[in-house]
Amino acid sequence: MVRPALVLPPYPDERWELAKQMGVSDAVIHPLEIGDGQTEWTYDELRGLQNYLEGDGLNFTVLEGSVPLTDRVRLGLDGRDEDIAEFKQFLRNCGDLGIPVVCYDWMGGVRWARTEAHNKVRGDSLSTGFDNEKMEGGPTVPASEKSHEDIFEALAYFLEEVVPVAEEAGVKLGLHPDDPPRESVRGVPRIVNSVENYDRILDVYDSEYNGVTFCQGNFAAMGADIPDTIRHFGEKINFVHFRDVDGDADRFVETWHDAGPTDMHAAMEAYDEAVGDEVPMRPDHVPTMAGEDNSNPGYHFKGRLFAIGYIRGLLDSLN
């Protein structure tokens, strides 16, 4: 069964208290809430943050995005072994502290892509979107020299090195889909963009610690049937991003959680039946609401509180 979680800042403010008032005690630490783009963590930094959270009644459940993973590793470049060694130590540190899930991605060269932040949705709330035509042009991205197979081989090399360490540390890895899940963005190949490619990646090293961050919006943009795909991956799902989009990988708009094309009740039924125990689920990419300045599109807090209520309602409907 899934367990509601929220992206929270690494310092106490009203969002910590609002989370607890919503009945959420699981914190996801994410670079969009860190502010300085931190990707390197010493043991003492992780320990200090964990102590801070636990002292206020919160659990350090997921470290997402802000992990020591470089393009030298993602693209199979010289120096990757040194960077992989750093990632292994990071996993050992997380394991020593009991941080159970690390979410990472394999988007080299061009990272997360959004081209719009002011799409008007329900009640003139503002939603993010992507239009590939608005990404085209500009100088050549050096990473575009790599092929799809080059990038797959780099990921396979990484997994063969780090999954045994994750197993020993007791830290589950969740690979996030490419966002957007296209064959390429700005000419840079992408490989984490289909159910079939995920199957190939999971087969590299068959382990519960080599798992999936099931970002519903990306799987919807792939054209996947969401409930069927949840059941397909089952206990390989180590983390969930609960969201929806209207459109496909070439052009989409983020939706309110209760207003998109996906049957969210059927999705929650699939999670209830298929995933393992205590899998963290966080709402993602919420619209910006009245009174919010849209300075952090998709990540303001009012919409997240609405989404947590919606998630709780769906969970209650199953019981």
Which position among 215, 244, 257, 300 bears the catalytic label? 215
Tell me the β-bridge partners of 60.
Answer: 27
In the three-class reduction of DSSP (H, G, I as helix; E, B as strand; rest coil), residue 259 is classed as: coil
Distance CA 214, CA 230 (A): 8
Both tokens assigned to 36: 């300085």
Which position among 43, 52, 157, 299 bears the catalytic label? 299
**299 in active site:** yes
With a threshold of 0.85, does the pTM exceed it? yes
Which position among 30, 257, 285, 300 bears the catalytic label? 285
Which residue, among 163, 48, 152, 153, has the nearest Cα to 102 in the 3D structure? Answer: 163
**Mean predicted confidence (pLDDT) in 77-100:** 97
pLDDT digits (tens, 9 = 90+) for 268-282: 999 999 999 899 999
pLDDT band at 40 (very low <50, low <70, confident <90, very high): confident
Which position among 26, 83, 284, 300 bears the catalytic label? 284
Distance CA 289, CA 127 (A): 9
**215 in active site:** yes
CB distance 123 to 194 below 8 Å: no
Which position among 26, 30, 105, 176 bears the catalytic label? 176
**Of 295 and 37, the one with more pLDDT:** 295
Which position among 26, 83, 205, 241 bears the catalytic label? 241
pLDDT band at 46 (very low <50, low <70, confident <90, very high): very high
pLDDT at 34: 59
Tokens 């960077």 appear where? 83
pLDDT at 35: 54
What domains lie within the chain, and their CATH numbers?
Answer: 2-317 (3.20.20.150)
pLDDT digits (tens, 9 = 90+) for 12-28: 999 999 999 999 999 99
Rg of the chain in Å (alpha carbons): 19
**13 in active site:** no
CB distance 122 to 194 below 8 Å: no
**241 in active site:** yes
